Structure 1
Amino acid sequence: MPRSYASAVLNATADEVWAYLRDFGNLADWMPGMQAGVIEDGGPGDRVGCVRRVWATGDSVFRERLAGLDDAGRSYWYQILEAPLPIRDARAHLRVAPVTGTGQAFVEWWGEFSADPGDEEAMDKTLSHGIYATGLDALARRFARRPGRT
């Protein structure tokens, strides 16, 4: 099962970044290429079991279920229920940790999936670079623009 991975250091504390990211329903607010998103039953975005639906450019739909949330560990993990990608049995994790020497936040985003052998390499690159790294770059820009930050 391939494992796609990306990480970044953000110019904010781990607690600040986690306070923002722990809302599973706000993906469309920070992820490039996402037009809108909702929690399907209208409940809170930090309730384990909730399903977020996000619409990407071109009306592609992603549906993902929050499988676990760990505030002490500043992480959550989720299952991808529906995606416009040739993947299956996909799950992903997002984790925020402090960089002790600088006070910044280290953010990791990774996932595992199954795909037909001919699609594995392309899907690994799509997830690692096109989704995870792109999203983390957007978060880095978001936190870099914050007043009082250098």
Structure 2
Amino acid sequence: MPRSYASAVIDATADEVWAYLRDFGNLADWMPGLQTSVIEDGGPGDRVGCVRRVWGHGDSVFRERLAGLDDAERSYWYQVLEAPLPIRAASARLRVAPVTGTGQAFVEWWGEFAADAGDEEAMGKTLSHGIYATGLDALARRFS
């Protein structure tokens, strides 16, 4: 399966960034291009098994299930249930770690997916640059 990856150093502590990111339901608050996001059953955004529905431009909808959350590792991982992209069997992970020399946060976002051979390269770039890196850049601005 192809893997897409992005990372960023954020000018805040790892604990501060994780306290904000651990809410799986707040994606539209910091991710550019999203209109709104909600947890489908209205429950908390840190409950493993919850499903977030995210609306982008037009009628584009992503649905993602929180598969795990680890506060000690400052990490969560999720499965993509529905996406307006030609991908399938997609999953992703977001992790926050301290930069020991500066006290800043190092944030990684990566995922794996399956796609038809003709779509693999484009989808890898879309996920790495169009989604993960774009989101992390916006997150960095939020904490600057």
What's the TM-score once normalised by structure 2's chain length? 1.00
**AA paired with 1:11?**
D
- Percentage of pairs with the same residue: 89
Letter in 2 for 1:17: V
- Structure 1 match to 2:61: 61
Q: Does 1:41 align with 2:38?
A: no
Aligned length: 144
Unmatched 5+ residue regions in structure 2? none
Aligned equivalents of 1:58, 1:138: Cα separation in 2: 21
SS at match of 2:143: helix
| 1:54 Cα deviation from its structure 2 partner | 0.5
Distance 2:13 2:109 in 1: 17
Partner deviation per Cα, 1:18-47 (whole Å, 9 max, x = no partner): 000000000000000000110000000000
Alignment of 1:10-25 (within 5 A): 10-25=10-25
What is the CA distance between 1:129 and its match in structure 2? 0.1
* Cα distance between partner residues in 1 of 2:58 and 2:70: 33
| Residue in structure 1 matched with residue 122 of structure 2 by the alignment | 122
Which residue matches 2:29? Answer: 29
2:96 is matched with which residue? 96
Cα drift, residue 53 of structure 1: 0.1
Aligned-residue CA RMSD (Å): 0.3
* TM-score, scaled relative to structure 1: 0.96
Q: Give SS of 2:127's match.
A: helix
